[in-house]
């Protein structure tokens, strides 16, 4: 019964809440581990689970005492979120009387400043992805779009042709973030030109290998470009540019940091990034404060 109740919850977060495939897959793994833990404690349904069970599991995933790998704080926190969501759902569905997970909190995650690279490094990466035909035009358009809009890689690869509006004065993209929440983000001339070149001179040839898809970015078989392939495109471009330690989120982080350093309001950047809370965006202000302090120490006569 535990497995059936878990699957019902996963169906709920997929259909009703619209969580991404990646998030649902992570929840599936997390809750499978939770079910094994509960079954080892002779629990056959969510109604039999106690507060002590939930607390013991939260401890086990951090230490590995349940026989599985100990999780890093971020993964452990996500697992607890999945468990709490399942128990809330169980109460709402009438499977359980009380939410026994309510007092178990996700582990605190040490704050890490986002990694951003300089505007010069970004320019070198974008230039390295360039070319006059085929996949090179696609690669340049993809990376220009990600940096111009602050899109997550998954958001960029999820775009359809109709989600893009070109034209110097009104160029923009319709991005779908977490929970399928939509936002329209303007893009600059460089990205608009790169997208136009790709659509006019490259996408049609790539599409001929497929069966027809509305996807904006296509692979060589004419299907939608995968997130993994997009990551590989960024990695190759960064290596060509001589820029080290570039992650899939680097261009997104750089987008936010460069906007704030240029004087953009944090709430505007919040909207552009698709963050539900401005608190999430404010982590980027610490990066720009460091830059301001460096300038201050170097320029002020009594800074030292």
Give tens-digit pLDDT for 106-156. 776 666 666 889 999 999 999 999 777 789 999 999 999 999 999 999 999
183 belongs to a structural domain: yes
Judge if 141 and 273 occupy the same domain.
yes
Cα 287 from Cα 183, distance rounded (Å): 25
111 belongs to a structural domain: no
Give the CATH number, domain containing residue 50: 1.10.150
Pairing of strands 164-165, 172-176: antiparallel
Give, as one character, the DSSP assignment of residue 162. Answer: G
For residue 45, which phi and psi values (nearest 5 degrees)?
-150, 160
Taking residues 270-299, report their average pLDDT.
71
pLDDT beyond 90 at 237: yes
Q: Tell me which residue of 95, 87, 47, 39 sits closest to 66, measured CA to CA.
A: 39
Contact assessment for residue 272 and residue 259, using Cβ atoms and an 8 Å cutoff? yes
Contact assessment for residue 85 and residue 75, using Cβ atoms and an 8 Å cutoff? no
pLDDT beyond 80 at 9: yes
Number of domains in the chain: 2
Last residue of a domain, one of 41, 75, 92: 92
Judge if 159 and 83 occupy the same domain.
no
pLDDT beyond 80 at 257: yes
80 belongs to a structural domain: yes
For the beta sheet containing 182-186, the strands, ordered from the edge strand earlier in sequence to the opposite edge, are 164-165, 172-176, 182-186
262 belongs to a structural domain: yes
162 belongs to a structural domain: yes
- pLDDT, tens digit, 9 for 90 and up, residues 145-200: 999 999 999 999 999 999 999 876 788 999 988 777 889 988 988 999 999 999 99
Write down the pLDDT at residue 274: 83
Judge if 136 and 270 occupy the same domain.
yes
Last residue of a domain, one of 52, 73, 92: 92
Helices H / strands E in the chain, number of each = 14, 3
Judge if 67 and 30 occupy the same domain.
yes
Cα 230 from Cα 142, distance rounded (Å): 8
Judge if 34 and 125 occupy the same domain.
no
215 belongs to a structural domain: yes
Contact assessment for residue 53 and residue 43, using Cβ atoms and an 8 Å cutoff? yes
Q: Tell me which residue of 18, 9, 17, 15 sits closest to 89, measured CA to CA.
A: 9
pLDDT beyond 90 at 287: no
Judge if 65 and 201 occupy the same domain.
no
Query: 134 vs 205, which has greater pLDDT?
Result: 205
Judge if 40 and 131 occupy the same domain.
no
Which helix (H) or strand (E) element contains residue 83?
Answer: helix 73-92
Which residues have a catalytic role annotated? Answer: 152, 178, 249, 252, 275, 284
Last residue of a domain, one of 73, 92, 111: 92
Judge if 55 and 188 occupy the same domain.
no
Taking residues 279-301, report their average pLDDT.
66
Give the CATH number, domain containing residue 170: 1.10.443.10
Burial class (CB in 10 A: 0-12, 13-18, 19+), 255: buried
Instruction: Mean pLDDT check: name the lowest of 44-58, 103-117, 261-275.
Output: 103-117
Domain extent, residue 38, equals 2-92
Name the average pLDDT for the chain. Answer: 87
Query: 211 vs 146, which has greater pLDDT?
Result: 146
Judge if 237 and 140 occupy the same domain.
yes
Distances (CA, A) of 142 to 91, 132, 208, 231, 246: 44, 14, 20, 11, 16
97 belongs to a structural domain: no
Judge if 290 and 216 occupy the same domain.
yes
Cα 18 from Cα 121, distance rounded (Å): 36
pLDDT beyond 60 at 260: yes
281 belongs to a structural domain: yes
Judge if 200 and 158 occupy the same domain.
yes
Q: Tell me which residue of 295, 145, 265 sits closest to 216, measured CA to CA.
A: 145
Tell me the HSE value of 200 on the side-chain side, using a 13 A CA sphere.
8
Judge if 215 and 261 occupy the same domain.
yes
Give, as one character, the DSSP assignment of residue 48. Answer: G
Cα 114 from Cα 150, distance rounded (Å): 13
């Amino acid at each position: 019964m535990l497995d059936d109740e878990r699957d019902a919850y996963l169906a709920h977060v997929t259909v009703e809440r619209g969580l991404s495939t990646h998030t649902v897959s992570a929840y599936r793994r997390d809750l499978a581990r939770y079910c094994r833990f509960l079954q080892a404690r002779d629990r056959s349904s969510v109604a039999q689970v106690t507060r002590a069970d939930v607390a013991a599991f939260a401890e086990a995933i951090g230490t590995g005492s349940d026989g599985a790998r100990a999780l890093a704080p971020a993964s452990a926190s996500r697992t607890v979120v999945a468990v709490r969501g399942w128990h809330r759902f169980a109460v709402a569905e009438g499977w359980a009387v009380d939410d026994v997970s309510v007092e178990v909190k996700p582990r605190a995650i040490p704050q890490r400043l986002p990694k951003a690279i300089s505007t010069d490094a970004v320019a070198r990466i974008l230039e390295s992805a360039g070319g006059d035909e085929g996949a090179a035009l696609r690669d340049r358009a993809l990376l220009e779009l990600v940096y111009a809009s602050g899109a997550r890689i998954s958001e960029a690869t999820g775009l359809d042709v109709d989600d893009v509006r070109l034209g110097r004065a009104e160029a923009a993209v319709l991005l779908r973030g977490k929970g399928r929440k939509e936002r329209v983000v303007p893009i600059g001339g460089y990205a608009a030109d790169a997208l136009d070149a790709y659509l006019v001179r490259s996408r049609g040839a790539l599409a001929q290998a497929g069966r027809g898809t509305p996807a904006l970015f296509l692979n060589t078989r004419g299907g939608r470009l995968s997130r993994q392939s997009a990551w590989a495109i960024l990695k190759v471009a960064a290596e060509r540019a001589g820029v080290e330690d570039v992650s899939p989120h680097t261009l997104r982080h750089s987008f936010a940091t460069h906007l704030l350093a240029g004087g953009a309001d944090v709430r505007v950047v919040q909207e552009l990034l698709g963050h539900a809370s401005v608190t999430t965006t404010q982590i980027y202000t610490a990066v720009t404060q460091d830059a301001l302090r460096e300038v201050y120490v170097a320029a002020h006569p009594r800074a030292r």
